[in-house]
Structure 1
Amino acid sequence: MRPGPWRQVRAVLFDLDGTLIDSAPDLGHAANRLRTDRGMPPLPLADYRCMAGAGARGMLSVAFGMTPEHPDFGPLKKEFFDNYESCIHDSTHVFPQVGELLQALQRSGVPWGVVTNKSERFTSLIVERMEIFHHASVVISGDTTPHAKPHPAPLLEAASRLALPAQGCIYVGDDLRDVQAGRAAGMATVAALYGYLGEDAEATTWGADANIEKPLDLLKTLGLA
């Protein structure tokens, strides 16, 4: 029998970037191309890593120290998206143990899916080009519903498509927004401590129901290992 709060779990939902896939190299490359196209030197890709979960906002803050309020933010954001689309799968890969984790869930008869703030424009390319995602039972992008995380709408939509109550799902993510969205949806939450934690993040204080240091730890949490 599964332990405590995990007894009701019938499906597992995951954040994408920083939880299942490491897309930081391609995001950083797309941002660096903005710099080199303007005669500026590229930054080390490691500089972008902690902000990879924040998408264009995070990449432009690292590349140019720019916030969304800057008048050039909109045009640069569009250019960044075009750059990213052209290199979206050059270096992106699943984190170690993720493949084993998803296969173990499938063997246990536990469906899994993806709920990300990444727009469908990019999510669809990742799902198409990375075979492991062909087995996902549901994929919800940042623009699938009118609201993105930390709003619970994307998670509730995923549960609905799985024909499950929200309480029958758990949500695993590497950002405070993931925990907030999961809790607002009425799901148990798991913080992935191996992901794109911001420099000042204190993930153990987010209030998740469990924290995992590596993907396969989730199987122990759920009583499946």
Structure 2
Amino acid sequence: MFSDVQAVLFDLDGTLIDSAPDLGAAADKMRVDRGLPSLPAELYRPMAGAGARGMLQIAFGMSPQDTEFAAMREEFFVNYERCMTERTYAFEGVQALLQTLEQRGLPWGVVTNKSERFTLPLTRSMPLFAGAGAVVSGDTTPHAKPHPAPLLEAARRMGIDPQSCIYVGDDARDIEAGRAAGMRTVAAVYGYLGTQHDTTAWNADAEINSPAALLQLLPGA
């Protein structure tokens, strides 16, 4: 169990919400629009945490180094904007987790690499996020995770010492960012996990198999 925790910060996609169906659909529409066969949603899911980069990699084998990447990324963004609330929902247990944190007097916030273009409309559309003490996006600061700047900004906005925060995420870069910010870290192994499925190699301070399991690590358990 962690002691002296004063706030909990979460990654968004793959940690609090399951946005993989909408992200995959936005990329798959690009395939279908080009006369290519649709791909199963299961192929997109593991890379959903990587956003456009991950989705275009699955859909077209494309990387940011490709000359058409910027144009394809913007097309993906437009598709995603149109559908990003259609199939996205909070993971089971997340709402109860956040309510319990609030009942225990533990403020919580969100730090995501998703750009504000998507983060703000999405979180505002879900009542779940009304209680967030901070919502920091990938372009809120000059740096995105694994740089610690977004996490430090969230702690600053909440008025909490970073060393009194824990950060929960489902990607190795989340744990790297949390450590760099001086926070204790929790790997959400129920999430997307990216390409690094050996979560023990992330060296997080703890792992959880469900959102509810986090409560056992916090004061008041």
Same fold (TM > 0.5): yes
CA RMSD of aligned residues (A): 0.9
Whether the 8 Å CA contact 1:171–1:188 is kept in 2: the answer is: yes
Whole-angstrom CA distance in 1 between matches of 2:122 and 2:76: 17
Whether 2:187 is the aligned partner of 1:191: answer yes
Whether the 8 Å CA contact 2:155–2:161 is kept in 1: the answer is: yes
TM-score by length of 1: 0.96
Change (3 A) 1:159 1:199: closer
Q: Which residue, 97, 102, 120 being the options, matches 2:98? A: 102
Greater mean deviation of Cα atoms: 59-68 or 192-201: 192-201
TM-score by length of 2: 0.98
Q: Which residue of 2 aligns with 1:23?
A: 19
Deviation per CA, 1:109-133, whole angstroms, max 9, x where unpaired?
A: 1000000000000001111110000
Deviation at 1:73, TM superposition (A): 0.8
Q: Which runs of 5+ in 1 are unaligned?
A: none
Whole-angstrom CA distance in 1 between matches of 2:92 and 2:220: 19
**Runs of 4+ more than 3 Å apart:** none
Whole-angstrom CA distance in 2 between matches of 1:222 and 1:128: 27
Whole-angstrom CA distance in 1 between matches of 2:123 and 2:44: 23
Deviation per CA, 1:96-150, whole angstroms, max 9, x where unpaired?
A: 1111100100110100000000000000111111000011111000000000000
Whole-angstrom CA distance in 2 between matches of 1:163 and 1:200: 33
Change (3 A) 1:150 1:116: same
Whether 2:42 is the aligned partner of 1:36: answer no
Whether the 8 Å CA contact 1:8–1:167 is kept in 2: the answer is: no
Deviation per CA, 1:159-217, whole angstroms, max 9, x where unpaired?
A: 11111111111100000000000000000000000000135421122111100011111
Deviation at 1:68, TM superposition (A): 0.8
Q: Which residue of 2 aligns with 1:142?
A: 138
Q: Which residue of 1 aligns with 2:128?
A: 132
Q: Which runs of 5+ in 2 are unaligned?
A: none
Whole-angstrom CA distance in 2 between matches of 1:37 and 1:100: 40
The count of corresponding residues between Structure 1 and Structure 2 is 221
The AA in structure 1 aligned to 2:156 is: S
Q: Which residue of 2 aligns with 1:8?
A: 4
Whether the 8 Å CA contact 2:172–2:196 is kept in 1: the answer is: no
Whether the 8 Å CA contact 1:171–1:187 is kept in 2: the answer is: yes
Greater mean deviation of Cα atoms: 176-185 or 215-224: 215-224
Whether 2:51 is the aligned partner of 1:60: answer no
The AA in structure 1 aligned to 2:78 is: D
Whether 2:175 is the aligned partner of 1:179: answer yes
Sequence identity (%):
61
